[in-house]
Amino acid sequence: MGGVNYVSRRRAALQPEESDEESWEELVPLPPSCPLAGTAAWSWGGREAPGAMLGKGAGGSGAKPAKPSFVSYVSPEEIHKKEPIEKEVNLHLLPGELLLCEANTVLKCVQEDGSNRGACGKLICTNFKIAFLGDESASDDNEPEFKNKIIGENDITLHCIDHIYGVYDEKKKSLSGQLKKYPEKLIIYCKDLRVFHFCLRYTKEEEVKRIVSGIVHHSQTPKLLKRLFLFSYATAAPTNTDIQNQTVMFDAIKDWREELERTKGNMKYKVLSANEAYKVSEKLPLYFVVPMSLSEESILQYQGRGIPIWCWSCHNGASLLKMSAFPKEQEDNTSQMHKIFLDGIYKTINKPPYEVLKTDDLSSSLPSLQDIQAAYIRFKQLFLIDNSTDFWDTDVKWFSLLESTNWLEIVRRCLKKAIEVAEYLEGQNTNVLLVEENASDLCCVISSLVQVMMDSHYRTKFGFQSLIQKEWVMGGHCFLDRCNHLRQNDKEEAPVFLLFLDCVWQLVQQYPPAFEFTETYLTVLSDSLYIPIFSTFFFNSQHQKDTNMSGEGHRAQSSHFRFLSVWDWSVQFESKAQVLLNNPLYVEKPKLDKSQRKTTRFKHQRQLSLPLTQTKTSPKRGFFREETDHFIKNILGKRISKLINSSDELHNNFTEFYDSWHCKPVDFHGLLLPHIDGPGIKVWAQRYLRWIPEAQLLGGGTVATATKILDMIEEVQSLQKKMDEKHSLTVPQGREALPMLRNSARLSSLFPFALLQRHSLKPVLPTSTWKDLEDEDDLAKRDDEFVDLSEVI
The stretch among 281-289, 320-328, 500-508, 785-793 that binds other proteins (CB under 8 A) is 785-793
CA distance 135 to 144: 16
Q: How far is the CB of 668 from other proteins (least distance, A)?
A: 8
**Read out DSSP for 270-315?**
EEE-TTGGGSS-SSS-SSEEEETT--HHHHHHTTTTT--EEEEE-T
694-733 residues near other proteins, rule: CB under 8 A = 694-697, 699-702, 704-705, 708-710, 712-717, 719-720, 722-723, 726-727, 730, 732
Task: Say how far apart CA 114 and CA 259 lie, in whole Å.
Answer: 55
Measured from the CB of residue 194, what is the shortest distance to other proteins in angstroms?
A: 17
Q: Is 111 in the site for other proteins (CB under 8 A)?
A: no
User: For 550, what's the count of Cα atoms within 13 Å in the CB-facing half-sphere?
Assistant: 6
Which residue number, 395 or 629, has a Cβ lying nearer to other proteins?
A: 395
* Beta-sheet pairing, 115-126 with 129-134: antiparallel
The full DSSP string for 68-132 is --TT-SS-HHHHHHHHHHHT-------TT--EEEEEEEEEEEEEETTEEEEEEEEEEEESSEEEE
Q: How far is the CB of 522 from other proteins (least distance, A)?
A: 16
What residues from 595 to 624 belong to the interface with other proteins (CB under 8 A)? 611-612
Binding residues for other proteins restricted to 561-590, rule: CB under 8 A: 579, 582-588, 590
**Closest separation between CB of residue 748 and other proteins, Å?**
11
Cβ-based nearer residue to other proteins, 331 or 724 = 724
Contacts with other proteins by CB under 8 A: the residue count is 100
Question: Minimum distance from CB of 55 to other proteins (Å)?
Answer: 22
Positions 413 through 432 that interact with other proteins (CB under 8 A): none
Neighbour count for residue 171 (Cβ, 10 Å): 10
- Which listed range, 11-19, 181-189, 481-489, 741-749, lies at the site for other proteins (CB under 8 A)? 741-749
Cβ-based neighbours of 759, under 8 Å, separated by 6 or more:
112
Q: Which is nearer to other proteins, 229 or 511 (CB)?
A: 511
State which of positions 520-539 bind other proteins (CB under 8 A).
Answer: none
- Closest to other proteins by CB, 474 vs 692, is 692
Question: If binding is defined by CB under 8 A, does position 763 make contact with other proteins?
Answer: yes
- Is 785 among the residues that bind other proteins (CB under 8 A)? yes
Distance CA 448, CA 108 (A): 41
Tell me if 780 contacts other proteins by CB under 8 A: yes
Query: Residue 660, CB half-sphere, CA atoms under 13 Å: how many?
Result: 18
Q: Measured from the CB atom, is 594 or 771 closer to other proteins?
A: 771
Residue 785 DSSP SS3:
coil
Instruction: For the segment 661-690, give every residue that binds other proteins (CB under 8 A).
Output: 662-666, 668, 675, 677-680, 683, 685, 689
Helices and strands counted in the chain (H then E): 29, 14
Q: Tell me which of 17, 140, 403, 626 binds other proteins, using CB under 8 A.
A: 403
Instruction: Specify the pairing of strand 357-361 against strand 431-436.
Output: parallel
Q: How far is the CB of 758 from other proteins (least distance, A)?
A: 10
Task: Report in angstroms how near the CB of residue 115 gets to other proteins at its nearest.
Answer: 16
- CA 702 to chain CA centroid, nearest Å: 20
Find the helix packing angle between 496-510 and 407-422, rounded to 10°: 70
> What Cα–Cα distance (Å) separates residue 718 from each residue in 216, 484, 705, 747?
54, 49, 20, 23
The smaller minimum CB distance to other proteins, of residues 167 and 415, is found at: 415
Return the residues of window 362-401 that contact other proteins according to CB under 8 A. Answer: 391-392, 395-400
Distance CA 136, CA 690 (A): 20
Q: Which letter, b or e, does each residue of 583-614 get, where b requires 16 or more Cβ atoms within 10 Å of its Cβ?
A: bbbbeeeeeeeeeeeeeeeeebeeebbbeebe
Q: Is residue 793 a contact point for other proteins (CB under 8 A)? A: yes
The whole-angstrom separation of Cα 422 and Cα 416 is 10
**Residue 24 or 624 having the CB closest to other proteins:** 624
The minimum distance between CB 641 and other proteins, in angstroms, equals 23
Q: Out of 434, 744, 750, 751, which residue is the one contacting other proteins (CB under 8 A)?
A: 744
CB of 370 to other proteins, least distance (A): 22
- Footprint of other proteins on 166-205 (CB under 8 A): none
